[in-house]
């Protein structure tokens, strides 16, 4: 039932939120005459003008076969054609949403597309063909098996190529980018439409088409499903064009003259920095390269230094991720890469390698007592490697093995020590160091593979390659190379870093608004999930800590490590399995349909075309989407859906079985349909890779099932759910009693108020500090032109903070910047303080500017320095002037803190929400909360006025 939409990672959501305003602005500027303005005579065509000869830019105009066909159709229809150029995969959406009347972009008719749009009669038959290099062995589609294939994102080639066995598909935004990759040997073949292929091949002498086509297909225009009228008109027009021979004329005129212009690629020469030799490395690979203090040392560094000396250049070392090194070299950011890098086929495609300077082996580290002795024993095991290293590449070939990729070698070793993996494949030398430093580890007798290390140099830089090889030869001959290596291998015994494990706490993420699985009883979260989690924690000897948050934040909390697991009546779905692992299911539930007593809806089939309420992100939400013609209303909370059903705003609610039982028993006039909507299983969500916890949880669950305790827990909740039955009409007194007094519900308000005040107070203090500092820096710059750099930083701060919503800032600070920090009050205070500081700064700066310069001169003439003058003379006066504006800012801040419920903080607003979810009463909790905010603001304003009057009285007689 419940479920969250974590299809895209949280960061993407945040970033896109960030960009939305910018995008809106751009869109508004870019198309002042919006496409859907519905001008009568306009026929809007959606296309992607990067697909010659069907559509492409000629100067600033879009031309091509599709354009001419569309033009001819528009003429037949007596309408004006308007062309909208967009991404290929946006075309169908543009048509379905009505932004465009039809799509014409060399669109093949496919099954999938037919689900979204109708197609006109086909106007051309094309084939998907295969472009390869002249010397390629690929001749038929069968030869593509296991190859690297380039396609244009969203095209027919993209769709069909997915079926090629073992092939690696590279999706490019534009066809010519795929062709460029083919030319630079990054891919083996390009699958693309016949006509543009002909153009590409004619422009590049080194390319050819295979004799056999990849597939044949037909192009048609895409038209929105309900627009039968346009479909008919277009088909009529097309028939006319075909009959008159005009269609063939159009096509002929394009396909022959397509080859006029040759694409000239301009290669940017990497600029040679005077006398500097830049080495790219990844300094986490002892003894080849590692940090000693703040310096990078190691065999590679010394060899590079020796080479630089031979070349008479200055060596500069750039430390980067291992898998960024090759890119750095190819892009010219670095002259060469030296990072214990093995010569592999793949890498040779991108860079050249110098002569090898060392032979190494990939070896296998296992625990002392491990049965793994040879590489063959690795089959089916869990193997740790360092991301992007030779071990990573080769281990991918081990049958059935699960490869865990770590950013750093020592992390893999740590995982091995804690039994998360069975073996680590890593280079010989660091392996020796790791084994010597960690008791209980050994190397297997047989090595995993042998390899040779060399320096990576950009392909076109033959000069450097020769120089490096000469230098290496010198080093080898003189014996210096061996000396360097000898001095590193065997001398190392650095300190061990022990992974610190969090002490004894097991953090559960839930959404406590889902009885009987989890809900508030008084100020405590109780329910089936809680008891199960408690039992699991007991079995594991850990202390359970429950974090209440929005349902759709739970998965994120688990993946980001904020919580150890999620337990919230969560159904196992395909999508969720992409983000997290699930424990064994602990309960089987069903999605049921709640309707009003007198409703004609009796089976799921009756839901067709109805208005259906669901809880946002739950299983019901997902499945309800498949109901034909139904309107889905998504509520944040289940009880809100029930309230809507009661007030006839919707026809039915699809929700989990257990809470449904509670809802129906508590509200007169509701019933469940006899037939269930669907059945499902609940399980706990655990971060991927946390196999240890997963196993423990599963073991604990198995125990609970066996002992019968699981059933006890469930029975204890599902029967007692109907304790409270609300009477139809009761007075205001009873309502207030129920909402604010009974079961200590006032505690939500009081505790929430405390949280709100804490956050506000801390944020105000932080805001004042930041505000003062920024204001002083800014006005110092304005007065004296000093502090230029700090002033620039302040301006960036002001621009960013004042240009983005406080809620987005809060989420970014909580989920990204302080992802591993769990004290939410501190995080929220930081977020609001940093936000408020920007406004306070500008207010105070205004105050400083309002003070007469004579005051400043008087202070300085007495001998006060700049800062003293500010503090003793300017700021006291400035503050008095801006007090009203400052007070206003703090009033705004107090009210803004009400969004902190988004990070699951129980502030005043959230407290009211919790009561609302328990009593199904909107008025009392919301009005209570509103009155308290109002009272706070009034009290605060009163004191500010008093203060203002006192300060003013000093100045006036």
Partner 1 sequence: MNAHKPLIQIKNLTKSFDQVKALKNISTNIYPGEVVFIVGPSGSGKSTFLRCMNRLEEATEGQVIFEGVNILDKKTDIDQHRQKMGMVFQHFNLFPHLTVKDNITLAPRKLKGVSQAEADKHAMDLLERVGLPDKADTYPAMLSGGQKQRIAIARALAMDPDVMLFDEPTSALDPEMVGEVLEIMGELAKGGMTMAVVTHEMGFAKEVASRVLFMADGEVLEDAPPQEFFEDPKNPRLRDFLSKVI
Residues at the site binding partner 1, with contacts judged by CB under 8 A: 852, 854-855, 857-858, 860-865, 868, 872-873, 876-877, 880, 954-957
CB of 850 to partner 1, least distance (A): 13
**858 vs 931, which CB is nearer to partner 1?**
858
DSSP labels, 171-205: EESSHHHHHHHHHTTSSSEEEEEHHHHHHHHHH-T
The H or E element that residue 593 is part of is strand 587-596
Residue 437 or 877 having the CB closest to partner 1: 877
> Between 608 and 858, whose beta carbon lies closer to partner 1?
858
Nearest distance from residue 954's CB to partner 1, in Å? 5
Complex with partner 1: residue 70 or 886, whichever CB lies closer: 886
Q: How far is CA 534 from CA 540, 551, 701, 710, 825, in A?
A: 10, 20, 11, 11, 25
Nearest CA-CA partner of 49 in 61, 39, 37:
61
Cβ 764 to partner 1, closest distance in Å? 23
**Minimum Å distance from CB 779 to partner 1?**
18
CA proximity to 2, closest of 625, 557, 617, 745: 617
Least distance between partner 1 and beta carbon 853 (Å):
9
Nearer to partner 1, 818 or 864 (CB): 864
Contact 43, 74 (CB under 8 A): yes
Q: How far is the CB of 781 from partner 1 (least distance, A)?
A: 18
CB-wise, 709 or 880, nearer to partner 1?
880
Q: What is the DSSP string of 608-638?
A: TT-EEEEETTSHHHHHHTTSTTPEEEEESSH
Taking the complex as a whole, how short is the minimal distance between the CB of residue 635 and partner 1, in angstroms?
56
Among residues 370, 425, 419, the alpha carbon closest in space to that of 398 is found at: 425
DSSP H or E run through 893:
helix 875-896
773 Cβ partners below 8 Å, 6+ apart? Answer: 841
- Compute the least distance from the CB of residue 465 to partner 1, in Å: 54
Contact 263/203 with Cβ under 8 angstroms?
A: yes
All residues at 6 or more sequence positions from 775 whose CB lies less than 8 Å from its CB, including other chains: 840, 841, 842, 843, 844, 845, 847, 848
Residue (736 or 879) nearer to partner 1, CB? 879
Peptide bond into 287 cis (omega under 30): yes
- In whole angstroms, how close is the CB of 769 to partner 1 at the nearest point? 22
Nearer to partner 1, 40 or 956 (CB): 956
CB of 884 to partner 1, least distance (A): 17
Closest CA to 17 of 933, 840, 806: 806
Decide if 17 contacts 29 (C-beta within 8 A): no
> 């010198």: which residue's tokens?
474
CA 370 to chain centre: 38
Cβ proximity to partner 1, 98 vs 846, nearer residue: 846
| Residue 635 dihedral angles phi and psi, to the nearest 5° | -105, 150
- Nearer of residues 186 and 860 to partner 1, judged by Cβ: 860
Give Cα 139 distance to the centre of its chain: 40
Tokens 């297909």, located at residue: 217
Min CB(947)–partner 1 separation in Å: 14
Query: Which lies closer to partner 1 via its Cβ, residue 619 or residue 869?
Result: 869
Please, what is the minimum distance in Å from the beta carbon of residue 548 to partner 1? Answer: 49
Q: How far apart are CA 619 and CA 287, in angstroms?
A: 52
Distances (CA, A) of 47 to 241, 297, 352: 20, 55, 41
* CB closer to partner 1 out of 423 and 851: 851
Q: How far is CA 824 from CA 162, 482, 523, 819, in A?
A: 45, 55, 18, 11
Q: Supply 535's token pair.
A: 């039992």
Comparing CB distances to partner 1, the nearer of 864 and 940 is: 864
Looking at the chain, how many residues does it have?
A: 957
Q: From the CB of 264, what's the least distance to partner 1, in Å?
A: 53
Q: Look at the alpha carbons of 328, 333, 336, 338 in this order and tell me if their dihedral is positive or negative.
A: negative
The residue among 272 and 952 lying less far from partner 1, judged by its C-beta, is 952
């Amino acid at each position: 039932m419940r479920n969250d939409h974590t299809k895209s990672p949280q960061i993407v959501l945040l970033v896109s939120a960030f960009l939305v305003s910018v995008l809106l602005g751009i869109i508004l500027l870019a198309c002042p005459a919006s496409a859907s303005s519905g001008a009568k005579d306009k026929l809007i065509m959606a296309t992607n003008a990067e697909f010659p000869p069907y559509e492409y830019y000629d100067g600033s105009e879009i031309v091509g076969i599709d354009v001419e066909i569309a033009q001819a159709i528009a003429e037949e229809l007596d309408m004006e054609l308007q062309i909208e150029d967009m991404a290929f995969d946006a075309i169908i959406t543009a048509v379905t949403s009505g932004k465009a009347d039809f799509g014409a972009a060399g669109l093949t008719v496919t099954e999938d597309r037919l689900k979204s749009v109708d197609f006109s009669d086909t106007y051309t038959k094309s084939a998907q063909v295969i472009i390869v290099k002249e010397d390629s062995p690929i001749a038929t589609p069968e030869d593509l098996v296991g190859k690297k294939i380039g396609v244009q994102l969203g095209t027919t080639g993209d769709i069909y190529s997915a079926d090629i066995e073992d092939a690696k598909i590279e999706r490019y935004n534009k066809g010519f980018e795929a062709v460029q990759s083919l030319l630079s040997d990054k891919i083996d073949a390009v699958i693309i439409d016949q006509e543009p292929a002909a153009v590409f091949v004619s422009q590049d002498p080194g390319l050819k088409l295979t004799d056999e086509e990849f597939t044949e297909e037909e192009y048609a225009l895409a038209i929105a499903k309900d627009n039968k009228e346009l479909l008919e008109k277009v088909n009529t027009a097309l028939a006319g064009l075909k009959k008159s021979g005009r269609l063939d004329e159009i096509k002929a005129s394009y396909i022959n003259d397509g080859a006029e212009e040759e694409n000239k690629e301009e290669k940017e020469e990497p600029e040679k920095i005077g006398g500097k030799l830049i080495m790219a490395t990844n300094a986490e690979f002892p003894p080849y390269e590692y940090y000693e203090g703040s310096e990078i040392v190691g065999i590679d560094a010394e060899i590079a230094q020796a080479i630089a000396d031979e070349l008479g250049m200055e060596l500069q070392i750039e430390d980067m991720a291992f898998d960024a090194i090759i890119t750095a070299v190819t892009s010219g950011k670095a002259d060469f890469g030296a990072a214990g890098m093995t010569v592999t086929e793949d890498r040779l495609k991108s860079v050249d390698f110098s002569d090898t300077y060392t032979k190494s082996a990939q070896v296998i580290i296992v625990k002392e007592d491990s049965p793994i002795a040879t590489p063959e024993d690795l089959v089916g095991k869990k193997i740790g490697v360092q991301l992007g290293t030779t071990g990573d590449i080769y281990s991918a070939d081990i049958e059935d093995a699960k490869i865990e990729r770590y950013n750093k070698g020592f992390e893999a070793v740590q995982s091995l020590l804690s039994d998360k993996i069975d073996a680590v494949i890593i280079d010989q030398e660091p392996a020796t160091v790791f084994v010597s430093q960690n008791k209980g580890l050994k190397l297997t007798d047989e090595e995993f593979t042998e390899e040779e290390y060399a320096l990576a140099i950009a392909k076109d830089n033959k000069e450097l390659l020769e120089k490096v090889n000469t230098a290496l030869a010198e080093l080898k001959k003189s014996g210096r190379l061996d000396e360097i290596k000898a001095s590193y291998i065997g001398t190392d015994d650095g300190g061990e870093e022990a992974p610190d494990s969090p002490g004894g706490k097991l953090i559960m993420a839930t959404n406590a608004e889902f009885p009987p699985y989890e809900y508030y009883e008084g100020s405590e979260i109780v329910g089936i999930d809680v008891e199960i989690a408690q039992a699991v924690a007991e079995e594991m000897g850990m202390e359970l800590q429950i974090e209440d948050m929005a349902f759709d934040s739970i998965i994120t909390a688990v993946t980001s490590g904020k919580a150890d697991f999620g337990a919230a009546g969560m159904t196992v779905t395909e999508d969720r399995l992409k983000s997290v692992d699930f424990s064994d299911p602990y309960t089987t539930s069903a999605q049921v349909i709640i309707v009003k007593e007198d409703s004609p809806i009796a089976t799921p089939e009756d839901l067709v075309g109805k208005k259906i309420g669901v809880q946002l992100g739950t299983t019901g939400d997902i499945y309800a989407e498949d109901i034909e013609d139904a309107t889905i209303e998504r509520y944040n909370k289940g009880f809100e859906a029930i309230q809507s059903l009661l007030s006839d705003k919707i026809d039915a609610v699809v929700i989990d079985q257990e809470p449904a039982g509670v809802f129906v028993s508590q509200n007169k006039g509701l019933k469940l349909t006899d037939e269930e909507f669907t059945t499902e299983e609940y399980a706990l969500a655990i971060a991927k890779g946390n196999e240890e916890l997963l196993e423990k949880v599963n073991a604990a669950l198995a125990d609970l099932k066996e002992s019968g305790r699981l059933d006890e827990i469930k029975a204890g909740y599902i029967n007692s759910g109907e304790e409270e039955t609300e009477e139809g009409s009761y007075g205001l007194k009873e309502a207030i009693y129920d909402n604010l007094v009974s079961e200590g519900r006032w505690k939500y308000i009081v505790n929430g108020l405390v949280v709100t005040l804490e956050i506000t107070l801390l944020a105000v203090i932080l805001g004042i500090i930041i505000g003062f500092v920024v204001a002083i820096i800014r006005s110092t710059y304005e007065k004296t032109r000093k502090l230029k750099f700090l002033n620039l930083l302040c301006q960036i701060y002001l621009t960013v903070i004042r240009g983005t919503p406080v809620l987005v800032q809060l989420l970014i600070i909580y989920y990204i910047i302080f992802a591993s920090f769990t004290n939410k009050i501190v995080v929220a205070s930081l977020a609001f303080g940093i936000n408020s500081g920007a406004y306070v700064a500008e207010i105070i700066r205004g105050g400083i500017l309002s003070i007469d310069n004579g005051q400043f001169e008087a202070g300085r003439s007495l001998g006060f320095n700049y800062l003293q003058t500010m503090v003793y003379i300017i700021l006291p006066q400035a503050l008095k002037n801006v007090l009203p504006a400052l007070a206003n800012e703090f009033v705004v801040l107090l009210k803004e803190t009400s969004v902190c419920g988004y990070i699951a903080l129980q502030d005043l607003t959230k407290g009211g929400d919790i009561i609302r979810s328990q009593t199904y009463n909107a008025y009392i909790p919301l009005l209570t909360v509103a009155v308290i905010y109002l009272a706070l603001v009034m009290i605060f304003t009163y004191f500010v006025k008093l203060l203002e009057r006192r300060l003013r009285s000093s100045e006036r007689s």
